[in-house]
Structure 1
Amino acid sequence: MNSTVNSSRAVQNDFKNVFIRNFIVVFFGITINYINGIFVFIFSRSPVFYMESKYILYIHLVINDMIMLTITVTLHVMVYAAPLVNVSVCCILLLLGTMTARNTPMCLAGMAVERYIAICKPLRHSQICTVRRTYTLILLIWLVTFIPELADIIILLVTRPLTFFTSRILCISLNIYDTPYHLNRSMASNVLFLSFVWITLIYTYFRVFFAAKSATTDAVSAKKAQNTILLHGVQLLFCMMSYVAPLLEINLVPLFPSDRSKIAFSNFLVSNILPRFLTPFIYGIRDQKFVSYFKKYISVCTVKVGLVS
């Protein structure tokens, strides 16, 4: 009798923990996407932003984060609600999720370069950072992040029978891309991507830093650009947690075996949710033009609500 009661309580506690974790993830996912959605709406309704490369790059980062968050939260909930997923469907979800996750550091690098050109080469900024080149850069970012994922799928087609794609599996990357070829490809591309982004951020930060010391440069704008690039670095550090998280779990779980799920959940929040929470603040809320249009949007909504009531 006692064993039955204890098992029943254990099931209830497990259900409670799972519900709380999924609620937190979904709540933050919806909240961040709602805030980002407001900025996308403001951008789409304000042609003044269409001709400036920094706003185009920012809104691309926002949309990219919204896609990434939606897929990541969906996969997190599916692990508990519907753990077994068709492999083909899982591959598509992982493809989009991984591409958008890799897009973020590349976008940060592109935005840092744009700020560097605006501060250090102001007379050539309008010639270099054209709208057409900005969209070309965005297309190039998606192409560069797609190539490694395409390589993973090709390796999977070569190493697995076709029946594998019709089977059902727990939709986790390591459950599908588990061959030594996948691990070597992942390690090589991660080092290449992150090295490129860090070198870009460090180079642009110090160039803007020295430009801020120059008497010929707008010190206020240079200081703001310097802080923006520094925030990009902080955001990138959190994004890198997605690469460090597996190592943390491997080392922490043996020390705290009873807290394995808590460790995994904490890693998920820090590496996937928190970096996307920073995006609206780095450019959106810190940018005076965006803030002015945001206030207009809020005031219009307030007036409409008042008229309805």
Structure 2
Amino acid sequence: MNSTENPSRTVQDDFKDAFLKNFIVFFLGLAINCINGIFVFIFSRSTFFYMESRYILYIHLVINDMIMLSISVALHVIVYAAPLVNVSVCCILLVVGTMTTRNTPMSLAGMAVERYIAICKPLRHSQICTVRRTYMLILLIWCVTFIPGLADIIILFLTRPITIFTSKILCYSLAIFNTSYHLNKAIVEYALFLSFVWITLIYTYLRVFFAAKTATTDAVSAKKAQNTILLHGVQLLFCMMSYITPVLDLILVPLFPNDRTKILFSTFLLTNILPRLLTPLIYGIRDQKFVAYIKKYFSMCTVKVKPVKT
């Protein structure tokens, strides 16, 4: 998980630069979480959303992004405020962070499959995409993404002395999970995860695309589902950028050594912070029911705070 910048940059940043970077990261993180929090609040206030699998999957993605963003911001601030962190605490933060990172593409795949069933198998949608099965899918996603994190801890336990868990270290993935076993596992893991998700998105997009051409399918709904899956692909591309951040840093930093800290900070924002804005923009704001409920609750709040004329 690339949720923090390279900690070595803290040596080069003066107080003004460090404060400005942390302020920007904290402000953006807080703003994005507030936006996502609105959708969580709207979801919690209506029983209608509880009965629809698509909204359950969406709000799971929103909450997952909020957790991931909170950990990313926390680790970024910790790098500057208290660089040395207990290894046990760091491992917990990194494992939860990597789980939420992997959850995003898996959740996108699940949401694409749900849209495919709704358009291509509308008569069976209510039978297949039940609320119970939706929560089972979410549980399965968390279990599947927890296994690689647990494997990292087990490898660390087998290859390092037990005293490492009581020591302190700079808290980022490559500082702890840096053995050849970890690196090989990460390559295989990312290849399997991303291949599965891309195959799922491409398959569901093509099926919905061809379904939109048939006379028996609601063309408007099919087109919306087609656009949604396509936007999921765009969102996945941004998610994949976090995997290539180290490569970008290795390429750009030698070319512009004087701008090293700016490059590292920019790639961190572009690949870890700003993509979290896509979830409410792609799915929430485009959904008419969510927008209607948001307008309803905001209008109610406006009425409540409106001063009484005397």
Q: TM-score, normalised by structure 1?
A: 0.94
Residue identity in the other structure for 1:262:
K
Shift of 1:266: 1.3
CA pair 165-308 structure 1, distance change in 2 beyond 3 A: farther
The equivalent residue for 1:273 is: 273
Deviations 1:90-120 (A, max 9, x none): 0000011110011000000000000000011
The equivalent residue for 2:262 is: 262
The equivalent residue for 2:138 is: 138
Three-state SS of the structure 2 residue aligned to 1:187 is helix
Shift of 1:82: 1.0
CA pair 211-85 structure 1, distance change in 2 beyond 3 A: same
Q: Aligned residues: percent identity?
A: 79
How far apart are the structure 2 equivalents of 1:82 and 1:222? 51
Q: Is the 8 A contact 1:241 1:267 kept in 2?
A: no
The equivalent residue for 1:16 is: 16
2:31 matches 1:31: yes
Three-state SS of the structure 2 residue aligned to 1:169 is strand
Identify the range of structure 1 (233-242 vs 263-272) with the bigger mean alpha-carbon deviation: 263-272
Residue identity in the other structure for 1:239:
C
Deviations 1:251-292 (A, max 9, x none): 211111122211111111111112210100111111011111
How far apart are the structure 2 equivalents of 1:18 and 1:235? 30
Shift of 1:212: 1.1
The equivalent residue for 2:155 is: 155
Q: Is the 8 A contact 1:152 1:177 kept in 2?
A: yes
The equivalent residue for 1:303 is: 303
User: Size of the alignment, in residue pairs?
Assistant: 299
Residue identity in the other structure for 2:231:
L
Q: Is the 8 A contact 1:238 1:274 kept in 2?
A: no
Identify the range of structure 1 (11-20 vs 105-114) with the bigger mean alpha-carbon deviation: 11-20
Structure 2: runs of 5 or more not aligned: 1-10
Shift of 1:305: 2.2
What RMSD, in angstroms, separates the aligned Cα atoms of the two structures? Answer: 1.5
Shift of 1:141: 0.2
How far apart are the structure 2 equivalents of 1:43 and 1:308? 31
Identify the range of structure 1 (15-24 vs 148-157) with the bigger mean alpha-carbon deviation: 15-24
How far apart are the structure 2 equivalents of 1:255 and 1:283? 38
Residue identity in the other structure for 1:287:
D
CA pair 297-267 structure 1, distance change in 2 beyond 3 A: same
2:289 matches 1:285: no
2:275 matches 1:250: no
2:189 matches 1:186: no
Q: Is the 8 A contact 2:13 2:261 kept in 1?
A: no
How far apart are the structure 2 equivalents of 1:58 and 1:272? 19
Deviations 1:130-149 (A, max 9, x none): 00110000000000000011
The equivalent residue for 2:171 is: 171
CA pair 217-151 structure 1, distance change in 2 beyond 3 A: same
CA pair 298-185 structure 1, distance change in 2 beyond 3 A: same
CA pair 308-74 structure 1, distance change in 2 beyond 3 A: farther
Residue identity in the other structure for 2:220:
V
The equivalent residue for 2:239 is: 239
Deviations 1:14-68 (A, max 9, x none): 2222222111111111111111111111111100111110000000000000000
Shift of 1:304: 2.2
Q: Is the 8 A contact 1:113 1:204 kept in 2?
A: yes
Q: TM-score, normalised by structure 2?
A: 0.94
How far apart are the structure 2 equivalents of 1:186 and 1:12? 30
Residue identity in the other structure for 1:21:
K
Three-state SS of the structure 2 residue aligned to 1:19 is helix
Residue identity in the other structure for 2:199:
I
How far apart are the structure 1 equivalents of 2:305 and 2:32? 23
Shift of 1:308: 8.6
Three-state SS of the structure 2 residue aligned to 1:240 is helix
